[in-house]
Amino acid sequence: MTQDCLYIGTVFHKRYEPKTHELRYKVFTLYSDLDDLASIAKNNRLFSLNKFNLVSFHEADYGDPETSKSANLKERLLTLLSANNIDASRVKSIKVLTYPRILGFVFNPLSVFYCYGENDRNIAIIYEVRNTFSERHNYIYAVPENGTFNEKHVAKKSFHVSPFFDQQGHYEFSIIPPAEKVAVTIDYKHSGSSRLTACFSGRRQKITDKALLLLSLRMPFMTLKVIGGILYEALKLKLKGIKVYQHAGHHSYQSSEALLMARKQKNKPKRAAK
């Protein structure tokens, strides 16, 4: 299993309809076992857990905000798995791929929680999606007995993310598991056609104070870049005359199931009639 690390890479967004539009920007992410965060903070002066620092991780940024003070993040995620009919007792560790806070600020459009059992066996994957209305939605995939992360998962779109799309269609999640490289791709599709592709891909780097300092200097306004990029691109889409869908509003925290996407079967040649 890949050890705790940083991933330095690129986020890419491409809209396919009604007009083609794309953007790309540099970011870095934290990949860590939730149980290791305290020791990472202890060993790196520029990183803190649940406290202000140059770079930090705050458990309250994830999961149900109404229960963030009643239990730690791992306990809350285990409760979430149990509530979705997944045997949480089999989960021995949970690792997260996410943006950390920089100088106290962060916006995470997507965080991925990898849930492992005995012998590093994959138990479940939680995709936590956030929008600019401070709402969160989990798409939860229970890994089958012979499942691996080299799979695609599909989930019905049930969350307002972009004002330029309605809530019709579905998401297709694709993962390259964390190793020397990592990648997470979301394809948003409706009526058989792609509407949007969003992808993060990065290369592994060890967590050190030097790395945290250099990355923060290179990307000091990463959160502003993410939010600013969203708002700037939204303005350009508005100027292009793309229809705006009003936010319908719902609970601040919801979950739904993600399923293994069926692989396409190649057509076998028909046997000639005798």
Write the pLDDT tens digit of every residue in 5-37. Answer: 999 999 998 888 767 778 888 999 999 999 999
pLDDT at 189 over 50: yes
CA distance 139 to 51: 28
| Size of the chain, expressed as the number of residues it contains | 274
Question: Could you list the residue range(s) of the whole structural domain that residue 60 is in?
Answer: 5-240+249-260
Task: Copy the structure tokens of residue 43.
Answer: 């060993």
The answer to the question of residue 268 being in a domain is: no
Confidence of residue 269 (pLDDT cuts 50, 70, 90): very low
Lowest-confidence range among 64-78, 192-206, 224-238? 224-238
Which has more confidence, 271 or 108?
108
The answer to the question of residue 273 being in a domain is: no
The answer to the question of residue 267 being in a domain is: no
The answer to the question of residue 274 being in a domain is: no
Q: How many C-beta neighbours within 10 Å does residue 103 have?
A: 15
Lowest-confidence range among 63-72, 147-156, 187-196? 147-156
Handedness of CA 29, 31, 32, 34 (dihedral sign): positive
What percent of the chain is modeled with pLDDT above 90? Answer: 47
pLDDT at 231 over 60: no
The answer to the question of residue 119 being in a domain is: yes
The answer to the question of residue 231 being in a domain is: yes
pLDDT of 265 reads: 41
The answer to the question of residue 51 being in a domain is: yes
pLDDT of 69 reads: 76
pLDDT of 266 reads: 44
Q: Are 27 and 226 in contact (CB under 8 A)?
A: yes
The answer to the question of residue 271 being in a domain is: no
Q: What are the tens digits of pLDDT across the range 32-83?
A: 999 999 999 999 999 999 999 999 999 999 988 888 777 799 999 999 999 9
DSSP string, 50-108: SS-SSEEE-GGGSS-GGGTTTS-HHHHHHHHHHHTT--GGG--EEEEEEPPEETTB---
| Site of tokens 């953007």 | 23
Number of domains observed in the structure of the chain: 1
pLDDT of 260 reads: 61
Rounded alpha-carbon distances, angstroms, from residue 65 to 76, 86, 176, 251 = 10, 21, 29, 11
